[in-house]
Amino acid sequence: MSASSEAIPVETLRWRGTRLELIDQRALPDRLEYVGCTSAAEVADAIRSMVVRGAPAIGCAAAFGIALEAHKQRDRPPRKFETAMEAAFKTLAASRPTAVNLFWALERMRGVLAANHDPNAAAAKLAEAALALFEADVEANRAIGRAGAALVPDGARVLTHCNTGALATAGHGTALGVIRSARDAGKRVSVIASETRPYLQGARLTAWEMIQEKIPVTLITDSMAGHLMSLGKIDLVLVGADRIAANGDVANKIGTYTLAVLAEHHHIPFYVAAPFSSIDTSSPDGGSIPIEERGAAEVTGYAGMRWAPEGVAVANPAFDITPAALVSALFTEQGVLERPDANKIRSLFER
C-alpha cells in the first residue's frame, strides 16, 4: 500500500456504472469486504445500517443511489419514471437525519432530474452528475488538506474523534485528510484517536486507516482526552463535521463538544475540517440541527455482547453541537476561516 495520498488507497465507494460497491464499514477492521447496491432502496439501507457512514460519503452514496434508480427505471413512461424517482428521493432522504451532505447531494441530483424530461437522457445525466459529485469531493478534500496542513506544526500530536478519513468521504478525508496532507508535506505528525463511544469509529476505522497509511496512531478511550491535555501531550484537536450552521456552530460525532470545551480550557487549538457541502446556511444555529437518536443496543453492549442490566433507560444521541465560539478555525476548500461566525460563513458563499 502506498504511503502517499495520491493513490487514494481506500476505495470507500466504487462506481461500476450500474452497480455501486461500498466497503462494508461494519466489518472493519476484521475484514475488508464490499457490499453491492443496484437501487436507491439498497443504498438507503446501506446508509441506515452504517455500511457507509461519514457525512461526505453518505452524500456521494445517495447521489449514486439516485443514478442507480434512474438506470433501473429508464424504460418506463415519463410519468411512471417521475413517480419512481420521487419515491427514491424520499427513501434516501429518510435514511439518516444529521449529515447535511445527504440533502445537499439529493438537491443537486434533483436539479439534474428537473432539467432532463426524457427518462433515458435523465438516467445518463444523473450518472454523470453523481460521478462528478464524487470526484469533486476528492478535490475538495485535497484542497482542505492543503489549507489545513499549514496550521499543523512539524511534530504535532493531533487528537481526532470519530473517523473523517477516506472511509468517511470519496477519498483523502477531511480532518484525516489534513493529517495526510501534512505528512505528505514532510511534517512528522502523530495521531491520538479517541475510540468514539458507542459505535467505535475511532477504534475500528481511524486506527485501521492510520495503520494502512503508516501514520503513527495511539488509541485512547474518550474519557482520557482531558488527562492527556493536562499533561501537555496534545498539540491540537482536529475533527470533521456533519453539519455546520449559518452561525458556525458545528454538529459532529457525540463527544466532539466535550473535546472542544477541554481544548478551550487547556488553550489548545480546536480545528474543524469540512467541505462546503457540510455547511447548511438554512440552519441558523446548532439548535436547529436535527440530532439522530440511535438504538439502545449500541450503549448497553457491543456486537451481541451486553454489559448493562436489562431494563435500564438509555440515551444515545449520535451527534452533539459545538458552539462556533469554541472553534479556533474552520478549514474548507476555500482556505482557513479563523474564529468562524455568521458574517465569515456568509462571506464564504459570496466569494
Question: What positions carry a catalytic annotation?
Answer: 242
Is the Cβ of residue 22 or residue 55 nearer to ligand MRU in the bound state? 55
Candidates 181, 194, 252, 322: give the one binding ligand MRU (CB under 6 A): 252
Of 9-17, 37-45, 166-174, 181-189: span binding ligand MRU (CB under 6 A):
166-174
Residues 77-136 that bind ligand MRU (CB under 6 A): 99
145 binds ligand MRU (CB under 6 A): no
Beta-carbon contacts of 76 under 8 Å, excluding residues fewer than 6 positions away, are: 84, 119
CA atoms within 13 A on the CB side of 303: 6
State whether residue 234 is helix, strand or coil.
coil
Beta-strand relationship, 157-160 and 236-239: parallel
- The terminus-to-terminus CA distance of the chain in angstroms comes to 39
> CA nearest 28: which of 303, 318, 306?
303
Question: Which of 5, 8, 15, 53 touches ligand MRU by CB under 6 A?
Answer: 53
Binding-site size, ligand MRU (CB under 6 A): 17
CB of 91 to ligand MRU, least distance (A): 18
Indicate whether 162 belongs to the interface with ligand MRU (CB under 6 A): yes
Annotate each residue in 169-198 with x if it binds ligand MRU (CB under 6 A) or - if it does not, as one string.
Answer: x----x------------------------
Q: Rounded CA gap, 339 and 335, in Å?
A: 13
Only segment of 11-19, 53-61, 213-221, 324-332 that touches ligand MRU (CB under 6 A): 53-61
Phi and psi dihedrals of 230, rounded to 5? -65, -25
Give yes or no for residue 286 binding ligand MRU (CB under 6 A): no
Residue-wise burial string across 276-294, b where 16 or more C-beta atoms lie within 10 A, e elsewhere: bbbbbeebeebeebebeeb
284: cell is 441558523
The reply to whether 202 sits near ligand MRU by the rule CB under 6 A is no
Strand partners, 252: 320
Nearer to ligand MRU, 119 or 202 (CB): 202
The contact mask relative to ligand MRU for 54-73 (x = CB under 6 A, - = no) is: xxx-----------------
CB neighbours of 110 closer than 8 A, spacing ≥ 6? 89
| Contact string (CB under 6 A) for ligand MRU, positions 253-272, x = contact | x-------------------
Decide: residue 350, CB within 10 A, 0-12 exposed, 13-18 middle, 19+ buried. exposed
Taking the complex as a whole, how short is the minimal distance between the CB of residue 243 and ligand MRU, in angstroms? Answer: 9
Residue 30 per-residue DSSP state? T
* 168 binding ligand MRU? (CB under 6 A): yes
Residues lying near ligand MRU in the complex (CB under 6 A) are found at 53-56, 99, 162, 164, 168-169, 174, 201, 240-242, 252-253, 318
